[in-house]
Structures are given as structure tokens and as C-alpha cells.
Structure 1
Amino acid sequence: MYAILDIETTGGKFNEEGITEIAIHKYDGHTVVDQFITLVNPERNIQPFVVKLTGINNNMLKNAPKFYEVAKRIIEITKDCIIVAHNSEFDYRILRTEFNRLGYDYKRNTLCTVELSKDLIPDQPSYSLGKLVRSLGIPVTDRHRANGDALATVKLFKLLQTKDTTKQIIQSSIKEGHNPKKLDRKLIDIVEELPAITGVYYMHKEGGDIIYIGKSRNIKRRVNQHFTAPNSKSKKIQLHVTAVTYEETGSELVALLKENEEIKRLKPIYNRARKRTHYTHALYAFKDKNGYINLKIDVADGRKKSITTFSNKQSAHHFIEHNVEAYNLCLQLTGLSTVNAEKPCFNYGLRTCHGACITEESPEEYNLRVQELIEKNSYAHKNMIIVDRGREIEERSAIYIKDGQFEGLGFFNLNYQINNIKVLESIITKMENNRDSQHIIQSYLRSHKKLKIIQLPA
């Protein structure tokens, strides 16, 4: 029996957080047999960044039950259950902390769906709950609310069960209930000094050398995860780190680009796993003997010119399937069907393919739609600025693309600064244009469709 749960907290200092919302779904391995969902009055203020993230504010919790009023129900619904959570180390620690305040020693075995996903669904671009379930086609609603995230975790756990064909990986990943790792005072002090902001962080060993570089939308939380994680790399970091510095970026795209450049430049010892490329597959185009532009997903090859790149094969195929529908393209000419070339593709029968597969639609008409797709998903030969969040409310970030090359990035407060090319280039910090930076930008544009993009004259 499993108790699949998610907890929202006030944020704040390590082990001083309070629960603001909890959702528990009791799962027998096949179906949910019981559930408990409630807001909780934490008897302390919620950090502003948490209010913005979850939408839960102090006024909403005034009449909510206090933890001691729901503690018995939590004990009952999780009795004889394994606690399952996405980053169970965090949720289990929070639960134990709350029970410890009541003088009750709460112990349960735990399973972490982050660790299970890494074992059973390797090579995902991200294992954060939101990005992971989206990449797997799992619907999620009320993101960053306890019940929305708990339900997504239930669906994810069901998928992980089917992936565990030997029925041994999940069983062997269960951790016996015990006190979670207590942080050294040194590590607690480091975490307490860090802000919950978006940016790049640098871990230093004694003497100041950088041993690890990362990026996060919440630096405080991410560093805390490094300091509590049980894997080999995290244990080495915990042993050697003496300080953590950071650079606020406001924009996740800026953080990704800075992290990519800094790792390549500084080569920290514990970032060596990042030497491999960020992407595995790419979209290529070629004309067939009839003059139709064909699209093909293939393993990324740096020697060939691609339209765009993808972190894995699954996301690449999801992209092409979506665009076949969006642009009424032919299944055969996009590599999604291997039917005899003399026969129409399946979509022709549905009238969503206009007959390019049997030369019924002219190459000129068909290629116009393909070119539109290519133009939308490639910035080759374009001059443009991607405008994203800044570090302050009135500030914005600018990612500068010149003739299809990533030139660099900067921050601005006034629109004239980016409308005047000379002024723009003076505020831009030059950065290296490479395949990884191109992939980062293209992937970000695909997943953030509402970004402001300013097209510049050639």
C-alpha cells in the first residue's frame, strides 16, 4: 500500500518551514482507495515567492485547521503505507518536522519518484515534476498546488510501475523510515544565506575554486537538494563545499545560457557529466525527386545542418506529430509512415493531408506550409531580440540573435535601448555561439510561446 502525497510549505529557513497544504492519495497498486486534501494553518507567514508560486496566501489559511488538528488523519491514512512523493526527501522531512513539534516520532518507509524516473525513464531533459509529466504526456492541473501535484505523481507512479517490468527496481528503491539526513551546521548556514530566486549558483571549495555550477528557478531550494541528496556526487559536494555564490538572472533562459557558458569555460570537477551534448536528436529537411520538402527526425549529427534540435527522441517525435496536425502535412513526407510510396498516407483518408504523398497537391503549395514551419522553428539568418524577465520588476532581459547567431545577452529598463542597434550592442555581454546554446534557445522558444520577440532589420 502506498500513500502518494504532495506538500506545499511556507518556505523559509531550513527545518523552520510550515505546511500550508497537503494532499494524500492512498493507492493499493491499482487504484486510489482513499484520499485526504486540506489547507493547513502554518501559524507563521508565507514567504512572498511562495505566494507567487502557489497562489496560497496568509488570508486563505486563517480559518484552515492547524497541523495538530489533522495529524491524526495523516497518521491513519498513511498507516502501513510507503510514502511516495516527487523528491520524497523534502516531503518526508517536512512531515517529520511537524510531528516532532507535537512530540510524535513519525516514521514511514519512502519512495522517491525523481530517483525512480531517473532509473526507469533515463535521458529526460528535466526531472522536475512539471516538465517530466509534460514530456511523458501526463495531464497536470493546478501545478504547485498540493492536490494537482499529488494527482500528477499518482499518474507518474502508475507509469513507473509499468516500466518496472522486473518488479524489482521499485522494491529495491524503498528507503526504510528513519531520521532524514541532518545537515552539518556549515551546510545549514550556507542554505540560510541563499535567496529563493532564479539564477546561476557556484559552489566553492576551500580556497575559492569552483567545484560545481548549476542553475535554478529557486536557488535556495536547489542547493538544499544538493545538500540532502544521498547520491555519490552530492555526497562529494557536501564534503568539499565551503561557500555558494550566485548571480541572479530573473529569466530561466538567461540562467540556462549562463550556466552552459560557465561550465564550458570553468570546467568544474563535478560538472563533468555535462560534457555530453544537451540534445540527442534533430529535425532535418531535404527535397525528394518530386520537389517536395521532406522532414526527418534523426540522431543529431553536428556535420549536418539541422532546423532545430531535441533533448530526446520522444520529444522530437511529439514535435513532428503536433506539427503534422497543425500544418496539414503528409505522414509519408515527415517520416511518420512507411506505407508504399504509391499509396496515400492514412491522413489523406481523413482529409488532413491534401495528397502530397500521391502528388495530388503541388510541391509549391505543400512546400509553403513546410517553409512556414521551418521559419517558425529556426532563427537561421534572422536578426532578433528575445525579451524575457529581468532581475527587477521594471527590468527586462534581452537575448540578441544576429544573422542567425547567438551574440550574447544583457538587461535593459527602457525600450529605446533595444530599438537602437548601437545602444543594444553596447549593453549586450558577448557570449559564445555553439550548438548547445542554439539548442537551449530553440527549446526554450518552443516551450514558451508567449515570449516577446522583436524582429530587427537585416
Structure 2
Amino acid sequence: MYAILDIETTGGQFNEEGITEIAIYKFDGHEIVDQFISLVNPEIPIQPFVVKLTGINNAMLRSAPKFFEVAKRIIEMTNDSVLVAHNADFDYRILRTEFRRLGYDFNVKTLCTVELSKRLLPEQPSHSLGKLVRALGIPMADRHRASGDAMATVKLFKMLLDKDLNKEIVKELIKFEIQKGIAPKLMDIVEKLPSKTGIYYIHKEDGNIIFIGKSRNIKKRVNQHFTGITKSAKKIQNEVFTVTFEETGSELIALLKESEEIKIHRPIYNRMSPKTNFSWAVYAEKDANGYLNLKLQKADGRKKEIKSYTSQQEGKDALFRISSHYHLCQKLTGLYETKTHCFQHTINECDGACVGKISPSEYNQRVQAFIEKNLFDNKTFALLDKGRTISERSAILVENGVYKGYTFYDLNYQINNIEILRNIIIPMQSNRDTRNSIQSYMRRAKAIKIINF
């Protein structure tokens, strides 16, 4: 659990500042589960420049509670949680100073989003909260007020969790929970999981990941691990300490993340999915008569493949469907061997490219339509899909035919600027697996929208 906070102060000399406003959001890594926002009477005057910056003045604070009146609620909100803030050293110092005046030793683990953003967003020219949220397209209200800045920090932290592909933040939280003696049982673990689409990580006691999976129903799938009777299921049941998860909304992002993160973390109980062997591929070749022929052949890295398949039969079945959909000749696609016309021409389902009845240019337009639909080459586009909530969407970015990664964005924010999209994208590897996954999803998913750049 995280306690994400922001504090506004009176300004003044070091360690003599007083708190004027505090906002704390209790965040479980996915959503806010509790919150506390309050003005605070600092019992000392506010510096004029602070009044101008925050809009909080002395008159507003006369009837506000003093620090000792809100201290218990602050302890409740931060107990057994990691305190997260933008420039955490400052907020933590101010809190410790105030508690020290009450004779209480306030001591919690802290995490600074300035330091995290420098590590996970090194390309950003500035790591101030205002400039970061603008660059990352994070909506922000009430700048320089505790609630507005704390909420912006929640959204930034959520994005940093997505960017942390090595899961260092989550692993550190698990170690912290172990130190605090928070050890969930299997039933407790399952109970806290969502019945939603996403990716899940099974951790052992030191925080290391022993299994990664994806599912359209995370809770149901993890429960299957915990009730399974196979050897691997029993091993997972014996070693699991906790399960973390990331909702994706989009099935495609779950698929792409699972593939990528298994390669990064190499969990011991993931059968290292043998590298998918796409040993057959469809190529386009122009024959002596000028017709573009689609041919299923053994994969050859020296040639530009249009689509690839794991077996000859899978490729042949696909080529039959392609020929039917695009009205292509089965003789020219190599599906029907003959020295005369193809059988489809006999039954009037082929318009005679096999015997020169239609021109190469007319026939090639159909082949080209298939190629255009299935080749990313030189195309730059964003594929927009479901998000994790009804107010959010996901985006996958392909630049010049190369898959760059994915992101989530607020519906109030329009993804039509590729520079903003580059800033907020979680980078991923591009390979044949990702290309095939994206192409397959684009063919069958109905809810997606494509923006071409």
C-alpha cells in the first residue's frame, strides 16, 4: 500500500515552516482506496510569496484544525504504507518536524517520484511536477494546492509503475510488507484480485517473480493455479507469497506484456515458451507475365515476408481464405497445380487471371490490397483500444513499421500528437511475435480505432 501525499507550507526558515494544507491518497497500486484532505492552521504567518503561489492566506486558516488535531488521521493514512511524494525528502522532513513538536517519532519508508522519474524517464528535460505532467499528458487541476498536486503525483506514480518493467518498485513494497509481518494466505490473495483482463505476477517471499501469466479474468486464472494438482501448480502453491497484477483492459496489451516480461524476468515456473517457430511465410513474387503471385514458402530471412505461420498446413489454410476474400486465383497462389486454368475458373469463381483473361494491373490491385493490409512497412499509426476503466483508453504505437510500445491515456486527452505519445509510451521490443500478434488482433477486434500519422 502507498500513501501518496503533498504538503503546502508557510515558507520561511529551514525547519521553522508550518503546514498550511495536506492531502494524502491511499493507493493500492491500482486505485485510490482512501483519502484525507485538509487545511491546517500553522499558528504562524504565511510568507507573501506563498500566498501568491498557492492562494492560501492567513484568513482562510483561522478556523482550520491545528496539526495536533489531524495528526491521528495522518498516522492512520500512512501506517503500514510506503510514503510517496514528489520531492519526498521535503514532505517527510516537514511531517517529522511537526510530529517531533508533539513528542512523537514519525518514521515511515519513503519513495520519491522525482528520483523515480529520473531513472524511468531519463529522456525528460525537466523532472518538476508541473513540467512532467504537461509532457506526459496527465490532466491536472489546482496546481500548487495539496489535493491537485497529490492527485497529479498519483497519476504520475501509476505511469511510473507501468514504466518499471523490472518491477523494482513492486519488489521493494513486498520486502517492506514482509518486514511489517503482512503475509497473506492463498484465499486472501485470490480475494483481492480483480475479475478483469490483465497480466499477473506470482512472487515468492523475497519479492522475486516465479510465474507470469495473462488472462481475461485474473482472479479465476490465479485461483486455478492455487487449486491445481499438477506438479507445477503444487510448486507455485508452496512458494507463493503474494500476487501482483496489472489490469490492461486490452487483450492485446496483456498478450504483448506477457511475452515481453517472461523474457525479462525468466520466471522459473513459466515453461520458457519455446521461441515461436514461424517456419513458413507468404511472399509476393511477380511472374513472367507480370502477375503478382502470393506464394507459401519456407521462411527465408533474406526476403520480405507478408505473413508468417508455424506450419505449412496453417499457412495453406490461411492462403485459401486469403484467395477467397481477395478473389485471387488458386493457380497463381500455388494452391492448385495445373497447366491450364484453375478449377475455380471452371465453376466461375475465378475471373481468369490464370489464363490471361484479366490484366496483370487489375489482378495485382487485389494482391496489393492484401499486402497493404498486412504489411507495417513504413507505416506509422496508433491502435486505440479499451483502457482499464471507462474513462480511459489504451494505445499501441507502431512507427515506420516497428512496434514501439503501449500506453494508457485519459479520455479527456486526445492522442493526436505523436510527440506526446512518444513521451508516455512504455517501450517494448519489436519482433515477429509482436508483429503477428498485432496483425492478428487488428483483423479480429472490432472495438479498435486506428490513427495514422
TM-score bracket, normalised by the shorter chain, equals 0.5 to 0.7
Runs of 4+ in 1 over 3 A off after TM superposition: 278-281, 298-304, 310-318, 414-417
Q: Which has the larger radius of gyration?
A: 2
Distance 1:238 1:296, change over 3 A: farther
Give 1:430's aligned residue: 427
> One-letter code of the match for 2:226?
F
1:105-142 CA distance string (max 9 Å, x none): xxxxxxxxxxxxxxxxxxxxxxxxxxxxxxxxxxxxxx
Give 2:13's aligned residue: none
Residue 218 of structure 1, CA deviation: 0.5
1:296-318 CA distance string (max 9 Å, x none): 23444545421123455554334
> One-letter code of the match for 1:445?
M
What secondary structure is seen at the aligned counterpart in 2 of 1:263?
helix
> One-letter code of the match for 2:423?
S
Give 1:293's aligned residue: 292
Q: Do the aligned partners of 1:417 and 1:424 also contact (CA within 8 Å) in 2?
A: no
> One-letter code of the match for 1:204?
H
Q: 1:356 aligns with which of 350, 353, 377?
A: 353
- Hey, what's the Cα distance between the residues in 2 that align with 1:242 and 1:312? 40
What secondary structure is seen at the aligned counterpart in 2 of 1:408?
strand
Q: Do the aligned partners of 1:280 and 1:312 also contact (CA within 8 Å) in 2?
A: yes
**Structure 1 residue 372 and structure 2 residue 351: aligned?**
no
What secondary structure is seen at the aligned counterpart in 2 of 1:418?
coil
RMSD across aligned C-alpha pairs, in angstroms?
2.1
- Hey, what's the Cα distance between the residues in 2 that align with 1:278 and 1:451? 28
1:392-415 CA distance string (max 9 Å, x none): 101100001111111111111247
| 5+ residue gaps, structure 2 | 1-183
Alignment of 1:188-207 (within 5 A): 188-207=187-206
Alignment of 1:133-212 (within 5 A): 186-212=185-211
- Hey, what's the Cα distance between the residues in 2 that align with 1:316 and 1:234? 35
- Hey, what's the Cα distance between the residues in 2 that align with 1:313 and 1:241? 41
**Structure 1 residue 329 and structure 2 residue 328: aligned?**
yes
Give 1:146's aligned residue: none
What secondary structure is seen at the aligned counterpart in 2 of 1:245?
strand
Q: Do the aligned partners of 1:197 and 1:217 also contact (CA within 8 Å) in 2?
A: yes
Give 2:74's aligned residue: none
Residue 271 of structure 1, CA deviation: 2.1
Distance 1:356 1:450, change over 3 A: farther
1:205-254 CA distance string (max 9 Å, x none): 22111111111110011111222333333232223222211111111111
1:33-86 CA distance string (max 9 Å, x none): xxxxxxxxxxxxxxxxxxxxxxxxxxxxxxxxxxxxxxxxxxxxxxxxxxxxxx
What secondary structure is seen at the aligned counterpart in 2 of 1:433?
coil
Q: Do the aligned partners of 2:385 and 2:447 also contact (CA within 8 Å) in 1?
A: no
Q: Do the aligned partners of 2:266 and 2:272 also contact (CA within 8 Å) in 1?
A: no
Give 2:281's aligned residue: 282
- Hey, what's the Cα distance between the residues in 1 that align with 2:216 and 2:376? 26
- Hey, what's the Cα distance between the residues in 2 that align with 1:414 and 1:195? 22
Give 2:341's aligned residue: 344
- Hey, what's the Cα distance between the residues in 2 that align with 1:223 and 1:280? 33
Alignment of 1:247-266 (within 5 A): 247-266=246-265
Give 1:389's aligned residue: 386
Residue 429 of structure 1, CA deviation: 1.7
- Hey, what's the Cα distance between the residues in 1 that align with 2:377 and 2:446? 18
Residue 281 of structure 1, CA deviation: 3.8
- Hey, what's the Cα distance between the residues in 1 that align with 2:283 and 2:412? 36
Distance 1:448 1:353, change over 3 A: same
What secondary structure is seen at the aligned counterpart in 2 of 1:330?
coil
Give 1:454's aligned residue: 451
Residue 273 of structure 1, CA deviation: 3.1
Q: 2:410 aligns with which of 400, 409, 413?
A: 413
1:78-98 CA distance string (max 9 Å, x none): xxxxxxxxxxxxxxxxxxxxx
Q: Do the aligned partners of 1:382 and 1:403 also contact (CA within 8 Å) in 2?
A: yes
Q: Do the aligned partners of 1:400 and 1:409 also contact (CA within 8 Å) in 2?
A: yes
Q: Do the aligned partners of 2:397 and 2:404 also contact (CA within 8 Å) in 1?
A: yes
> One-letter code of the match for 2:449?
K
Residue 263 of structure 1, CA deviation: 1.0
User: How many residues were matched structurally?
Assistant: 270
What secondary structure is seen at the aligned counterpart in 2 of 1:244?
strand
- Hey, what's the Cα distance between the residues in 2 that align with 1:312 and 1:247? 33
397-406 or 277-286: bigger deviation:
277-286
1:244-294 CA distance string (max 9 Å, x none): 111111111111111111111111122243132174543222222222111
What secondary structure is seen at the aligned counterpart in 2 of 1:382?
coil
Distance 1:278 1:217, change over 3 A: farther
Give 2:120's aligned residue: none
- Hey, what's the Cα distance between the residues in 2 that align with 1:233 and 1:334? 45
Distance 1:263 1:416, change over 3 A: same
Give 1:402's aligned residue: 399
> One-letter code of the match for 1:386?
L
Residue 376 of structure 1, CA deviation: 1.2
Alignment of 1:237-248 (within 5 A): 237-248=236-247
Q: Normalized against structure 2, the TM-score is what?
A: 0.56
Residue 449 of structure 1, CA deviation: 4.4
Q: Normalized against structure 1, the TM-score is what?
A: 0.55
- Hey, what's the Cα distance between the residues in 1 that align with 2:387 and 2:277? 25
Q: Do the aligned partners of 1:201 and 1:246 also contact (CA within 8 Å) in 2?
A: yes
- Hey, what's the Cα distance between the residues in 2 that align with 1:302 and 1:238? 43
Distance 1:257 1:220, change over 3 A: same
What secondary structure is seen at the aligned counterpart in 2 of 1:273?
coil
Q: Do the aligned partners of 1:329 and 1:352 also contact (CA within 8 Å) in 2?
A: no
Distance 1:241 1:282, change over 3 A: farther
Q: Do the aligned partners of 2:280 and 2:315 also contact (CA within 8 Å) in 1?
A: yes
Q: Do the aligned partners of 1:203 and 1:213 also contact (CA within 8 Å) in 2?
A: yes
